[in-house]
Amino acid sequence: MSFTNTFDTTNTGSGVSNREDLTDVLTILAPEETPILSSANKQRASATNVEWTVDSLSAPQTAGISEGADVTSFTDQFAGRAKLGNRVQKFRRDYMVSDMQEAVDSVGPAKIAQAEAKAIRELKRDIEATIAGTQDLAVENGAGVASQLRGLGDWLDGAAGNVPAAFQTPASSIAATGTAFSETILNNLISSVFRVTGSASNLMLVADTGLRRVIADFARTTASATDNVRSVNYDGDSGSIKLSVDLYESDHGVVSIVNGNPDCMPAVTGGVANGSGYLVNPEYYGVHELIPMGTTRLPNLGGGERGFVDCALTLGVYHPGAHGYIQAIS
């Protein structure tokens, strides 16, 4: 459907004096949720390379000690420690409104305050997409390569080289691309995380739209080759039927299931479209801010007010084994 201006400039008669009816409404449609960023612990960074250490407990020993036996050897309790780190990345969105646009009566309105607010909303989505991404880190080289943080997908893919083997995300905590996702697979992922951390009560599954749809179908059981039986929550007073799954009670604890921002979740190259997800424990990851998000207004050089919003931060994944990764379901 096309729309035409009601101010008819082709009619030199009575139509030329018609007023334009432009409603004072401006609609912006875009997903703005940032569940990974919003759930992260917020820390202060003091350098462009943020590092932390990881350690683990040795396997339990069940052998007894003979009476009178002296201690003849000693264990270096810190020998198994490793250092992990990530690079700080700079984020920026600029904005400007011309002096004439600032002066006219416009829909929206299109003023400098609204331009600034929109830039802030866009910047938050930039951060969410970056920390939820699969990119490796990059070190600024002064020749066009900017510093880039390692995304969550690269931390959790279990690949050799990114993380020492003892602290990688176990293969049992990863549903690789092409996995036929099911309730059994989800329980296996939760159990795998539990075996590493000893707890699964704080887990949150950030699911893209395709994965969320599959999880909602967990309540459906196939009764025969031709009939499906679905269990639903029915509210007789309101007449509403709930098919979504917001909390999943596993053998090891309750997992919160939230929508990932479909514009920010990693793109998948195989399987169900939008079929990725992260099974994360917010206790074991955080965002480290070197420059907190803020806005800077620049001098008006004659064309209008302008400015930018920016920040500099990185993602700290304190122990990759504490999380699970659903790469792309089939």
pLDDT in tens, 209-255: 999 989 988 866 555 566 666 666 655 566 566 667 899 999 998 99
Burial class (CB in 10 A: 0-12, 13-18, 19+), 207: buried
Integer Cα distance of 122 and 115 in angstroms: 11
Q: Is 259 helix (H, G, I), strand (E, B) or coil?
A: strand
* Backbone φ, ψ for residue 131 (5° rounding): -70, -25
Closest CA relative to residue 123, chosen from 54, 25, 37 = 37
Extended strands (E) in 100-246? 174-175, 204-207, 220-222, 228-230, 233-235, 240-242
pLDDT of residue 5: 56
Q: What is the pLDDT of residues 41-98, one digit of tens each?
A: 999 999 999 999 999 999 999 999 999 999 999 999 999 999 999 999 999 999 999 9
- pLDDT tens digits, one per residue of 257-277: 999 999 999 987 766 778 999
HSE, CB side, 13 Å, CA atoms: give it for residue 250.
26
CB atoms within 10 A of CB 293: 15
Give the global pTM.
Answer: 0.85
- Specify the 3-state DSSP secondary structure of 232: coil
**Residue 177 to residues 165, 260, 275, 330, Cα–Cα distance (Å):** 21, 18, 9, 7
SS3 107: coil
| pLDDT class of 36 with cuts at 50, 70, 90 | very high
Distances from the Cα of 229 to the Cαs of 211, 222, 246, in angstroms? 21, 6, 21
Give the DSSP H/E element, type plus range, for residue 308: strand 304-317
User: Pick from 37, 36, 42: which is nearest to 258 by CA?
Assistant: 36
Question: Maximum distance among all alpha carbons in the chain?
Answer: 115
On the question of a cis peptide bond just before residue 109, with omega within 30 degrees of 0, the verdict is: yes
pLDDT of 167-212, one tens digit each?
999 999 999 988 899 999 999 999 999 999 998 888 999 999 999 9
Percentages helix, strand, coil for the chain, rounded to the nearest 5?
A: 25, 30, 50
Each residue's pLDDT tens digit, 102-120:
888 766 666 888 899 999 9
Q: Residue 207 in contact with residue 274, Cβ under 8 Å?
A: no
63, 272 Cβ separation under 8 angstroms: no
